[in-house]
Structure 1
Amino acid sequence: MNIEGITLREAVADDLDAIALIYNSLWCNWIRKAGAWEDWALCGRFNAAMQLQRSPITLVAERNGAVVGACLVGVFENGAPVKNPRWQPVYEELLAKATERAETADEDLEGSLFGDSREKATADRFAATGDEYAQAQINLIVIKPEWQGAGLGRRLVEEARRRMGEEGRTKFFLMSDNRSNYHFYDHLGMARIAEDHSQDTGDNFIVYIYGGEA
């Protein structure tokens, strides 16, 4: 794919489902394959809304009217995340639905619904330490599978860095894990600055914290 003609813009309300679809294609397809379409839709929409409400900087990559990627960036003040008021009501509505569904969900579905929320708790603990990198966080970066490897992720991160700089941030962090494509962040020149093993339930799951310059 050629990223010529890609437009980067702020996310609007109509983008929620498009971001959720990309999210689902990357992490929740097992729910769709099981035929649980309502759970699949809820998982993507809730997690997309959760990330959006923590992200004052929202970047959407669009081509020919279609969303092909997104990068959502949070900022911290005095060790606490700044919320995005535009997305807070949507998040609260979907949080109530996800919480209700989790009451009767099996362990796998509950993990898909709230795994990212638990990761955010780890991010908040890191930010509260006052680490020099805890000025901003790339909360979510998603690229449609057919657009991966074309340079779109790098372009989104570069624009995110520029906007973080406009917000007065000089450093930022992001979180990945040993089951994801964390090598992408190595290629961007970021450094692994910490590891978190608190979510390891015997399956050797490790959260990696990467730091970079804005």
Structure 2
Amino acid sequence: MDINDITIREARQEDLDHIAGIYNSLWCNWIRASGALDDWALCGRLNAAMQLQRSPITLVAERNGGVVATCLVGIFDHGAPRTNPEWQPAYETLLAQATERAKTADDDLEGSLFGDSREKATADRFAASGNEYAQGQINLIVMRPEWQGLGLGRRLLDEARARMRDEGCSRFFLMSDNHSDYQFYDHIGMKRIAEDHSQDTGDGFIVYIYGGEC
């Protein structure tokens, strides 16, 4: 596989299920393994749409007509996140479905449906604090496992940086956690600028906030 065969473009509506599939392959396999395929699909689609509607810059990496990775980028205006109206209807529809499903869901499913939304509340508090890095945010960067380690993540981040510079950003941040592959951001030289422990429910969960230059 060669990343030179990759085309990077803006996301389209028909990409939602592809992005949701990548998201699910990384974080929601336990739902599929339980046999709850409708819940599995809803979880991926809701979280993908939530990230898309918070991202004025929506990049996908495409090869041979298939989406293999995505990088979704938020912009903050005076501490407030800019939204993407193109993705708002899909998000609102999926949010209503997930809210209804949560009425009868157990804690694990409810956490998978809405955990990313709670993390965004942490991001919004960080941005509202006036931190110098709170100009842009990498909301989501994910790729199919077979494309990891080939330089595609760095290529997507380079393109995201260029797009953020076009929006007037000089710095940006992103969020990871101690249950994810946060070492990648250490490896590419980003600076860990803050930690958040507010989502720790006794399992030692820590959100890491990294800062970078555009």
Same fold (TM over 0.5): yes
1:28-64: CA deviation from partner (whole Å, max 9, x where unpaired): 0110010000000000000000000000000000000
Counterpart secondary structure, 1:86: helix
Under a length normalisation based on structure 1, what TM-score does the superposition of the two structures give?
0.99
Task: Flag structure 2 segments of 5+ consecutive residues without an equivalent.
Answer: none
The match for 1:93 is 93
How far apart are the structure 2 equivalents of 1:49 and 1:135?
22
* Amino-acid identity (%): 77
Counterpart secondary structure, 1:22: helix
Under a length normalisation based on structure 2, what TM-score does the superposition of the two structures give?
0.99
**Letter of the aligned partner of 2:46 in structure 1?**
F
The match for 1:201 is 201
Shift of the alpha carbon at 1:76? Answer: 0.3
State whether structure 2 residue 107 is matched by structure 1 residue 107: yes
How far apart are the structure 2 equivalents of 1:62 and 1:20?
15
Counterpart secondary structure, 1:74: strand
**Letter of the aligned partner of 1:83 in structure 2?**
T
Shift of the alpha carbon at 1:188? Answer: 1.5
How far apart are the structure 2 equivalents of 1:161 and 1:183?
20
**Letter of the aligned partner of 2:52 in structure 1?**
L
Which aligned pairs between 1:11-50 and structure 2 lie closer than 5 A?
11-50=11-50
The match for 2:177 is 177
Shift of the alpha carbon at 1:78? Answer: 1.2
The match for 2:212 is 212
Moved runs in structure 1, 4+ residues, more than 6 A? none
Please give the root-mean-square deviation of Cα atoms over the aligned residues, in Å.
0.5
Task: Flag structure 1 segments of 5+ consecutive residues without an equivalent.
Answer: none
How far apart are the structure 1 equivalents of 2:115 and 2:132?
26
Counterpart secondary structure, 1:209: strand
Shift of the alpha carbon at 1:19? Answer: 0.1
**Paired positions, count:** 214
The match for 1:159 is 159
How far apart are the structure 2 equivalents of 1:2 and 1:34?
35
The match for 1:54 is 54
How far apart are the structure 1 equivalents of 2:147 and 2:6?
11
Counterpart secondary structure, 1:71: strand
The match for 1:127 is 127
The match for 1:78 is 78
How far apart are the structure 2 equivalents of 1:15 and 1:176?
24
How far apart are the structure 2 equivalents of 1:109 and 1:148?
27
**Letter of the aligned partner of 1:117 in structure 2?**
S
**Letter of the aligned partner of 1:26 in structure 2?**
L
State whether structure 2 residue 188 is matched by structure 1 residue 188: yes
